[in-house]
Structure 1
């Protein structure tokens, strides 16, 4: 009987060790496999690996992590436009102030859409999550269009870079949601 208890302990110990090891290696593989199905592989891998919770996440969890990256981007851009950029506009340039405020609002709407996608992912309503991420990806276009409406206004390169960043993040999220098979 002593040998069978020892064998049982041995089997359980190594089975548990192997599952833990496989989960860690497997999740690194899951990140890479998931990111291969996105438009921006390097952005996907670096963003997910920088979040420690990604090592324990499934595909839906990886999507949620990337959505939160997008939310942070939208919030940072909204803050940049609302404070730093708006303060740099002269008081008599009412058109520019109006356009900058409109852009800040659009990034606020992008944040709201991403937040709704978090709720949708949690409820496994992947088609709605996909639509909300697509909306978030499109809001920066409305900002760019606001500048185009007024001849003489130049779309600031700082906003263009932030716009591109949010669009890339949203593209990654959309690729991950595609993996969820909605």
Structure 2
């Protein structure tokens, strides 16, 4: 009897995890970057117990972490001695500020999601995703856009696209 109880509990735990992964899979299925969505959510242990709204909030936190990291990276680049010239330092500081604004917009979207005001949550995530464009445009004056920053921008925008896809499905 002990072995059958163990087997039952084992099967129950597998089906429970599968069910949770099904929620993640179904939620991510309707996003632009399915693999990014699934890998981000399955790497967070709390996501296994969340509904789609909770998954959206987790992805917003992933975006906040990314924006914070990029802000810190840009701030350190602006203050480092390897940044050539005052124009580059000025642009890097402005870019750091833009990622700071993106961070604030994402925090607002968390509050909107918690209140189930999905149109405002969507708007705040769209604004966050747009802030790096001002940074990118600042480099059009002759300075080369750093490849590390281009990579960070691309990942950030993809994360925001995933959040937008999840929010879209919360509305319908």
TM-score by length of 1: 0.84
Count of residues in Structure 1 that have an aligned counterpart in Structure 2: 162
CA contact (8 A) 2:64 2:107 kept: yes
Q: Please say if 1:133 is aligned against 2:118.
A: no
Tell me which stretches of 4 or more aligned residues in structure 1 moved more than 2 Å: 20-25
- In the TM superposition, residue 84 of structure 1 has moved relative to its aligned partner by 3.4
What is the match of residue 4 of structure 2?
Answer: none
SS of residue paired to 2:116: coil
Match of residue 67, structure 1, among 53, 60, 71 = 60
CA contact (8 A) 1:81 1:100 kept: yes
CA contact (8 A) 1:24 1:56 kept: no
Q: How far does the alpha carbon of each residue in 1:101-154 deviate from its partner, in whole angstroms, 9 at most, with x for none?
A: 000000001110100000000000000000000001001111001111x2x201
Match of residue 77, structure 2, among 58, 80, 84 = 84
Structure 1, unmatched stretches of 5+, are 1-13
What do you get for the CA RMSD once the two structures are aligned?
1.6
Structure 2, unmatched stretches of 5+, are 1-7
Of structures 1 and 2, the larger Rg is shown by 1
Distance 1:141 1:154 in 2: 15
Q: How far does the alpha carbon of each residue in 1:11-37 deviate from its partner, in whole angstroms, 9 at most, with x for none?
A: xxx9xx96x765432211010011110
TM-score by length of 2: 0.89
Aligned pairs for 1:130-169 within 5 A:
130-148=122-140, 150=141, 152-169=142-159
CA contact (8 A) 2:63 2:159 kept: yes
